[in-house]
Structure 1
Amino acid sequence: MKALTWHGKGDMRCESVPDPTIQDGRDAIIKVTACAICGSDLHIYGGIIPEMRSGDVIGHETMGEVVEVGKDNKALKVGDRVVVPFTISCGECFFCRRGFFSGCERTNPDASKAEKLWGHAPGGLFGYSHLLGGYAGGQAEYLRVPFADVGPIKVPDHLTDEQVLFLSDIFPTGFMAADFCNIQNGDTIAIWGCGPVGQMAIRSAFLLGAERVIAVDTVPERLELARAAGAITIDFMDEDVYERIQDLTRGRGADACIDAVGTEAETMASFDSMLDRVKVATFMGTDRPHVLRQAIHCCRNFGTVSIVGVYGGFLDKIPMGSAINRGLTFRMAQTPVQRYLPDLLRRIEEGQIDPSFVITHRGTLEDGPELYKTFRDKKDGCIKVVLKP
């Protein structure tokens, strides 16, 4: 089959790889009908995610049609149309039973590697390094889905692939970001990053009752899409973000702040972001947490900082004195996608949201390597790429 494979920093290829096969009775094989390039895939493309190996098939936003089912899988049948969560979960362990599916204790065969870096290992993820299981990803013609009686959600025929594809990751992640904010009527939510997850977080915050959403970015197309959803926008290259949020909130700060950027904040945003870049380049640091620092400072006393942007290692110069003395709450996670799926599918079916609004570019797997460059460089107004094998 054809698949997108990683061969080093900036080197993505569409090439032939072996077809997946059933390896366990709970497996399923799906024929991929749509997949997407995620912003977190750009961290892989940029070479900053450890434990990648040349030839790894990547991608974790995938849906398709079931073409083969393991003998112990009673939840799916051939012909079912499903969306596959990016988190791989057994459904039976301590964490899965409590709804924390991304913390699954049984789905990461590389747990010992992750424990050395993070203390404890999360569950496995599709197409996201050998820290997280080394599973082949879904930017391919076919995908093996382990524990497929727990993860995939069946979707009705009257909804298009593009309406439901983002149930795999960015819609649940953006919704979780807003859900973490414990939004009350009248709240102001500030969101850093108007990429795909940020766009979902903006709309989710309004769905959950926010009165105002402040969206921070510098890319014109992203800011325009945020304004179309009703957000107040701040271009961080033109304005002082802290001062503007202080002005908008009469000096109190935002009720909650969402970091939807993560480790690769814009280098020219501030002096500390430039310093972060130097530290990472000289192996004196692992991440660039400028946005997290700013979100802490912009959050009101006893507010919430919600973190869904990807960080990988150890963060430098985080203002914990500010957080502790002002009573901030931090919420963060790799999204336990399965926890949110039934509610979010219902919201799509009821017309509360059509996640396909974020798509700007479409292509085939063969187009994938060039579309990675387009997405990374934000060319041609690119916000979200969908590939159809």
Structure 2
Amino acid sequence: MRALTWHGKHDIRCDSVPDPQIQDGRDAIIKVTACAICGSDLHLYDGVMPEMRSGDVMGHETMGEVVEVGKDNTKLKVGDRVVVPFTISCGECFFCKRGFYSGCERSNPDRAKVTKLWGNSPAGLFGYSHLLGGYAGGQAEYLRVPYADVGPIKVPAGLSDEQVLFLSDIFPTGYMAADFCNIQSGDTIAIWGCGPVGQMAIRSAFLLGAERVIAIDAVPERMALAEAAGAVILDFMDKDVYDQIMELTDGRGADACIDAVGTEAEAAASWDSRLDRIKVAMFMGTDRPHVLRQAIQCCRNFGTVSIVGVYGGFLDKIPMGSAINRGLTFKMAQTPVQHYLPILMERIEKGDIDPSFVITHRGTLEDGPTLYKTFRDKQDGCIKVVLKP
């Protein structure tokens, strides 16, 4: 089959790779009808995530039609249309039983490696390095889905692929970011990053009752999309973000702040962002957490900092003095997608939101390598790429 494969920094290829096979009775094989390039994939594209190997199949936002089912899988049948969560979860362990599917204790066969880095292991993920299971991803013609009696959700008739595809990751992630904020009537929510996850967080914050959303970015087309959703937009390259948020909130700060950027933060010419870049370039640091620092400073006393941007290592110069002395709450996670799927599928069916609004570019797998670069470089107004094998 054809698939997008990783061969090093900025080297994604459309290759021929072996078709996936049933390996366990709970598996399923799906024929991919739509997949997407995620902002998290760009961390792999940029060579930030360790333990990638040449030839690894990319992608974790996938849906399709079931073409084969393992003997022990009674949930799915051939012909079902399903969306596949990016988190691989057994449904039976301590964490899965409590709804924390992204903390699954059984789905990462490489857990010993990542435990040395993070202290313990999260769930395995599709297409996201050999720290997190080494599973082949879904930017391919076919995908093997482990524990397929737990993860995939069936798609109701009448909904298009593009309406439901983002249930695999960015819609639940953006919704979780807003859910973490415990939004009350009248709240102001500040969101750093107007990429796909940020766009979903903006709309989710309004769905959950926010009175005002402040969206921070510098890319014109992203800011225009945020403004169209009703957000107040701030250009971080124009004026100091802290000063602007304090002005908008009468000096109090936002009720909650969402970091939807993560490890590769861009910033205006500030001392901390310059230092981050120098340290990463000299292998003295692993991440560039400028946005997280700013979100902490801009959050009101006893507010919430919600973190859904991806970080990989050890963060430097985080203002914990500010967080502790002002009573901030931190909430963060890889999204337990399975927990949110029924809620969000219902939202789509009811017409509360159509996640396809974020799509700007479409292509085939053969177009994938070029579209990775287009997305990474923010060319041609690119906000979200969908590929149809």
* TM-score, with structure 1 as normaliser: 1.00
Give the distance between the partners of 1:288 and 1:158, measured in 2 at CA.
Answer: 43
Deviations 1:227-277 (A, max 9, x none): 000000000000110000000000000000000000000154522112101
Deviations 1:71-94 (A, max 9, x none): 000000000000000000000000
Percent identity, aligned pairs only, is: 85
Secondary structure in structure 2 of the residue aligned to 1:202 = helix
The corresponding residue for 1:129 is 129
Tell me what 1:232 maps to. Answer: 232
For the pair 1:153 / 2:153, whether they are aligned, the reply is: yes
Return the letter of the residue paired with 1:145.
Answer: V
Residues 1:357 and 2:357 aligned together: yes
1:108-148 CA-partner distances (Å, limit 9, x unpaired): 00000010000000010000000000000000000000000
Partners of 1:110 and 1:217 lie apart in 2 by 36
Please tell me whether the aligned partners of residues 59 and 127 of structure 1 are also in contact (alpha carbons under 8 angstroms). Answer: yes
Q: Which amino acid aligns with 2:148?
A: A
In structure 1, what is the Cα distance between the partners aligned to 2:104 and 2:18? 28
Separation of aligned partners in 1, 2:257 and 2:66: 40
1:216 match:
216
Indicate the residue corresponding to 1:309 in structure 2: 309
Does the 8 Å CA contact 2:30/2:68 hold for their aligned counterparts?
yes
Which amino acid is 1:125 matched to?
L
CA deviation string 1:277-305 (max 9, x = no partner): 11001011000000000000000000000
Where 2:343 maps in the other structure, the secondary structure is helix
Alpha-carbon contact 1:127-1:136 (below 8 Å) kept: yes
Alignment of 1:134-283 (within 5 A): 134-283=134-283
Q: Does 1:118 align with 2:112?
A: no
TM-score (norm 2): 1.00
Deviation digits for residues 131-189 of structure 1, max 9, x if unmatched?
Answer: 00000000000000000000000001200000000000000000000000000000000
CA distance in 1, matches of 2:351, 2:157: 15
Which residue identity is paired with 1:324? I
- SS of 1:305's partner is strand
Who is 2:346 aligned against? 346
C-alpha distance in 1 between matches for 2:128 and 2:253 = 36
- Partner residue of 2:288? 288
1:267 and 1:277 in contact (8 A); partners too: no
Tell me how far apart the structure 2 counterparts of residues 269 and 339 of structure 1 sit (CA, whole Å).
40
Q: What's the counterpart of residue 325 of structure 1?
A: 325
AA aligned to 1:194 is C
Q: Secondary structure at the match of 1:40?
A: helix
- What is the aligned partner in structure 1 of residue 372 from structure 2? 372
Residue 385, structure 1, aligned to residue 366, structure 2:
no
Letter matched to residue 276 of structure 2: D
Say which SS state the counterpart of residue 199 (structure 2) adopts. Answer: helix
Structure-1 separation of matches of 2:133 and 2:270: 36
Equivalent pairs counted in the alignment come to 389
User: SS of 1:198's equivalent?
Assistant: helix
Q: Match for 2:354: what amino acid?
A: D
Q: In the alignment, what sits opposite 1:26? A: 26
Q: Which consecutive unaligned segments of at least 5 residues does structure 1 have?
A: none
Contact 2:217–2:223 at 8 Å: present in 1 too? yes
Partner Cα distance (1:267, 1:280) in 2: 15
Q: Is the 8 A contact 1:268 1:274 kept in 2?
A: no
Contact 1:279–1:285 under 8 Å retained in 2 = yes
1:71 partner letter: K
**RMSD of aligned residue pairs (Cα, Å):** 0.5
Give the CA deviation at 1:15.
Answer: 0.6
* Amino acid in the other structure paired with 1:219: V
Question: Is contact 1:188–1:211 with CA below 8 Å preserved after alignment?
Answer: yes
Q: SS at 2:369's partner residue?
A: helix
In structure 1, what residue type is equivalent to 2:159?
A: L
Q: Secondary structure at the match of 1:366?
A: helix
Asked if the contact 2:237–2:267 (Cα under 8 Å) also holds between the matched residues in 1, the reply is no
Structure 2 counterpart of 1:116, which letter? Answer: K
Contact kept, 8 Å, 2:20 with 2:144, in 1: the verdict is: yes
Amino acid at match of 2:49: I
Kindly indicate whether residue 75 of structure 2 is the aligned counterpart of residue 94 of structure 1. no
C-alpha separation in 2, matches of 1:128 and 1:41: 8
Supply the distance in 2 between the matched residues of 1:261 and 1:285 (Cα, whole angstroms).
Answer: 17
Distance 1:68 1:85 in 2: 18
Separation (CA, whole Å) in 2 of partners of 1:193 and 1:48: 19
Cα separation, 2, equivalents of 1:260 and 1:65: 31
Structure 2 residue matching 1:287: 3-state secondary structure: coil
Counterpart CA distance in 2 for 1:270 and 1:364 is 40
In structure 2, how many angstroms separate the alpha carbons of the residues matched to 1:268 and 1:193? Answer: 14
- Secondary structure, counterpart of 1:191 in structure 2: strand
CA contact (8 A) 2:27 2:146 kept: yes
Q: Are the equivalent residues in 1 in contact too, given 2:87–2:336 (CA < 8 A)? A: yes
Counterpart position of 1:76: 76
